[in-house]
Chain A
Amino acid sequence: MNIAKKIKILLQEAELYHSQGLLNEAMEKYNNAKELIQSNEQLKTNQNLINGISKKILALKEDINKIEKAPKKPEISGKMQDLIKKMVSFSPDKNEDLKALDGAIALAKFGQIKRAISEFNELIKTDSLRIVAAKNMLRCHMALSSMDEAVAQYEQWTSDQRFSTIQLDKLRVFLENILKKEGVEKKLPKREPPKDSIDQDQVEGPDVEEDADIIDINSMGITIYRGPNKGQVVEFKVKFQLGNKVSLLIPIRDKDLIDVFKVGDIINDIQYYSAAALYRGSGTVTSVKEIKIGPLRGDYCVDIKILLK
């Protein structure tokens, strides 16, 4: 094939790749064509041709630059934000509160921070989600680069009677740690508990409070501690995780395994597998429930609160 034809083909390919939105591929073809021209004694003096290709390369570079500089998570319409919530809460197994929490977390992950803050603010009204919602709300303020907002929000909560003293302490430590990581040493105010009152956390059992810094667990190795399989190590896949609470799905055909778990059991020596590492720890069984509807009807969902060493 003569060189002119080769160049023509390269330029045609470049145009077509450009029209397909394959900018890097188009760029490569233009560069190949330019190199061919410059290496040919007869063609390398054809300045018009070289300039034409150089212009195309420059235009492509600008397009690539625009794409790279475009905001990765711009604010989108309310309709689209609703859709994000709907998309991630597509699950038959969860209650409405958890679906709402998933939705708010997803909004934050998709960069819809202002809407996420407003959703978390609503979720704070729900007792069982208060801490996890509050922590996420503080994170959202930080994501908006508004450290002062996060601190102001915490300070506002100190006079909010929905938060118990212990809950506020958790939030204070959480926020102080984040600030420390950002290089800000700041002591946040505490709320002093009334001397003659019993804090509600002293009488209430643990709720679904989340330690949101916990790693994602993919599966768990548990040494069976009851029943015919006692002593065996069985690996369970984690179907769902919310902070330090994981849900295992056990099919009804493994009835022996389902019978092992009783609410309140403390399981020692659990191996927690994340994508990157193996951790050891213990856990408490917080719920054992039969799934009543859907394709998994009859199977069991076992919730375990994890504690890493």
Chain B
Amino acid sequence: MAIFNIKKKEIECKIVYYGPGRSGKTTNMEYLYKTYKKQVVGEMVSVDTEGDRTLFFDFLPMGLGQIKGFDIRVQVYTVPGQVQYSSTRKLVLKGVDGVIFVADSLAVRREKNMLSLKDLQHNLKEYGINILKIPLIMQHNKRDLAEQGLPLMSIEQMERDLNRQLKVPSFSASAITGDGVGATLKECLKLTLLSFKKQFKSG
């Protein structure tokens, strides 16, 4: 849940990159860190374990300037994708305002994507959050691998698998080249800020 600091005129929110192991969540964040230097307001913190797998989470603090006199600060996190880190994923999701689901386009990872999305739904529910109501963006990552001859799922198939019911905005991306990375985060932030606006109005 975002923190509204009226005295400091500051809004701080939390965005989490979710998805199966090796789908490119950390690579998304690394690209943001390298490319959006102006918006990055601190070091990217990351703990990897054996085989470059995210251990606990990655963290990147960002500042998006001002909206209506309020400084917008964003804490960006990734979760560890490996199945055994379920409890860690749940902890990282605590207080989340917006989620980016990074799906792996490789055909061999089809089932992992679906299981991870189900895991997201379950963990959000544990915090009383309906997956249909939270700002959520779908990213179809690793589209560049088609050039290397690896079998990828079509976007249509991924949309059918993952986004048929959710109907959330989705982006094709290649986190390694940066294609679609900025657009994904931008859309997530847009939805998150809109959601705050709605909450304010109804509150």
At the interface, yes or no: A25 with Cβ under 8 Å from chain B? yes
Contact flags A269-281 to B (C-beta < 8 A → 1, else 0): 0000001000000
Whether the pair B148, A294 counts as a contact (CB closer than 8 A) is: no
- Interface presence of A17 (CB below 8 A): yes
- Complex Cα distance, B151 from A12, in Å, reads 12
Look across to chain A and name the residue whose beta carbon is closest to the beta carbon of B22.
A21
Q: Does A22 contact B (CB under 8 A)?
A: yes
B138-192 CB contacts (< 8 Å) to partner A = 142, 145, 148-151
User: Quick check: is A218 within 8 A (CB to CB) of the other chain?
Assistant: yes
Q: Do most interface residues of chain B lie in helix, strand or loop, or is the interface mixed?
A: mixed
Known contacts A83-B59, A88-B91, A90-B3; decide if A22 and B75 are in contact (CB<8 Å). Answer: no
Report whether A90 and B53 are in contact in the complex, using a CB–CB cutoff of 8 Å. Answer: no
Task: Report the separation of the CA atoms of residues A286 and B138 in the bound assembly, to the nearest whole angstrom.
Answer: 42
Smallest Cβ distance from A233 to chain B, in angstroms?
A: 19
**Cross-chain contact A70 with B150 (CB below 8 angstroms):** no
In contact, B150 and A16 (Cβ under 8 angstroms): yes
A151-173: CB near B (< 8 Å → 1, else 0) gives 00000000000000000000000
Q: Complex formed: what's the CA distance from A220 to B108 in Å?
A: 42
A67 and B50 in contact (CB under 8 A), knowing A17-B108, A80-B56, A87-B59?
A: yes
Q: A16-B148, A80-B45 are in contact. Are A22 and B203 (CB under 8 A)?
A: no
Within 8 A of B (CB), among A20-58: 20-23, 25
Residue of B14, B22, B88 touching A90 (CB-CB under 8 A)? B14
Q: How long is the Cα–Cα vector from A66 to B99 in the complex, in angstroms?
A: 31
> Could you mark each residue 289-309 of chain A with 1 if its beta carbon is under 8 Å from any beta carbon of chain B, else 0?
000011111110000000000
A: number of interface residues (CB 8 Å): 45
Assembled-state Cα–Cα distance A67/B6 (Å)? 46
Tell me, in angstroms, the Cα distance from A9 to B149 when the chains sit together: 9
Q: Could you say which residues of chain A place their CB within 8 Å of the CB of B22?
A: 20-22
Task: Find chain A residues with CB under 8 A from B36 CB.
Answer: none
A74 at the interface (CB under 8 A from B): yes
The distance from the CB of B201 to the nearest CB of chain A, in whole angstroms, is 10
- Interface size, chain B (Cβ < 8 Å): 45
Judged by a CB distance under 8 angstroms, whether A195 is at the interface is no
Q: Report the separation of the CA atoms of residues A67 and B48 in the bound assembly, to the nearest whole angstrom.
A: 11
- Which residues of chain A have C-beta atoms less than 8 A from B106's C-beta? 17, 20, 22, 25
Alpha-carbon gap, A110 to B57, bound state (A): 11
Contact between B51 and A295 (Cβ–Cβ < 8 Å)? no
The reply to whether the CB of B115 lies closer than 8 angstroms to some CB of chain A is no
Please measure, in the bound complex, the distance between the C-alpha atom of A9 and the C-alpha atom of B151, giving whole angstroms.
11
Residue of B nearest to A76 (CB): B47
Check A87–B92 contact: CB distance below 8 A.
yes
- Do A21 and B45 have beta carbons less than 8 Å apart? no
CA distance A139 to B102 in the complex (A): 36
Closest Cβ neighbor of B84 among chain A residues: A72
Q: Mark B40-60, 1 if CB is under 8 A from A, else 0.
A: 000001010111110111010
User: Is A115's CB within 8 Å of the partner chain B?
Assistant: no
Q: What are 30 A-B contacts with C-beta separation under 8 Å?
A: A9-B149, A16-B148, A16-B150, A20-B22, A20-B145, A22-B106, A23-B51, A63-B51, A67-B50, A70-B51, A71-B49, A72-B85, A79-B45, A80-B45, A80-B56, A83-B45, A83-B59, A87-B75, A87-B91, A88-B95, A90-B94, A91-B95, A93-B1, A110-B88, A218-B128, A238-B128, A294-B2, A295-B1, A295-B199, A295-B203
